[in-house]
Chains A and B, each alone.
Chain A
Amino acid sequence: ETGVTQTPRHLVMGMTNKKSLKCEQHLGHNAMYWYKQSAKKPLELMFVYNFKEQTENNSVPSRFSPECPNSSHLFLHLHTLQPEDSALYLCASSQVVAGDTDTQYFGPGTRLTVL
């Protein structure tokens, strides 16, 4: 595997389900990100992890719960989602040195549909 991988690629879930999205980066980076991409809107940054520590949480509802067990893996746990949460969820990684970062590299995304 190379780059940034995400599983599953597609997910359909009901509003009462609990599911998890997985991201893995094979680039040796130390920062990982979750973004939400909806039609006609800019990418929305959800969470940032630097060296496994969460450094950003952009007012994301608690029904989205991130987990970063190590610098290569990132999860997004989902529960009691709403139909408006349907979107493409993108994971990205980058290398942070002395508080500054190189550019981000993205995974293919998980297309989530909430019924």
Chain B
Amino acid sequence: QKEVEQDPGPLSVPEGAIVSLNCTYSNSAFQYFMWYRQYSRKGPELLMYTYSSGNKEDGRFTAQVDKSSKYISLFIRDSQPSDSATYLCAMRANTGNQFYFGTGTSLTVIP
């Protein structure tokens, strides 16, 4: 079983839609959860960084962590064509610096 599972998509939505991206994981030791956005031919850039369970909001982006279900989500409100990218989830345990990544979900927002 993979440490982190993420549906690769592709996901295509109209502009203005609410987008939901998800990852599941198997290691209950994971405590830190991240979402990265990666545009074509670029490196991943950090979008959201959360610790343990709960919600975190930043502008149009909301990250949710449900540790009891080992499930994390990223919601994008009022999606824009500029949100078209691959979204990677990542996570790590409480100590150390080993990060585990999902495969990434490819998102296209159609004008």
Contact = CB atoms under 8 A, between A and B. Distances in A.
Nearest to B44: A106
Interface string A72-111: 0000000000000000001000101001110111111101
A69 interface: no
A42 interface: yes
B45 A96 contact: no
Contacts of B43: 4, 6, 90, 106-109
A41 B103 contact: yes
Interface stretch (B53-61, B62-70, B73-81, B88-96): B88-96
Interface residues of B, number: 27
Interface residues of A, number: 25
A42 B96 contact: no
Nearest to B48: A103
B98 A45 contact: yes
Contact of A48 (B34, B88, B97, B100): B97
Contacts of B95: 99-100
The 8 closest A-B pairs by CB, nearest first: A101-B97, A106-B43, A43-B101, A42-B101, A108-B43, A106-B44, A109-B43, A103-B49
27 contacts: A31-B97, A42-B101, A42-B103, A43-B88, A43-B101, A45-B98, A48-B97, A48-B98, A50-B97, A56-B98, A90-B43, A90-B44, A99-B95, A100-B94, A100-B95, A100-B96, A101-B92, A101-B96, A101-B97, A104-B46, A104-B90, A104-B99, A106-B45, A107-B43, A108-B42, A108-B43, A109-B41
Interface of A: 4, 6, 31, 40-43, 45, 48, 50, 56, 90, 94, 96, 99-101, 103-109, 111
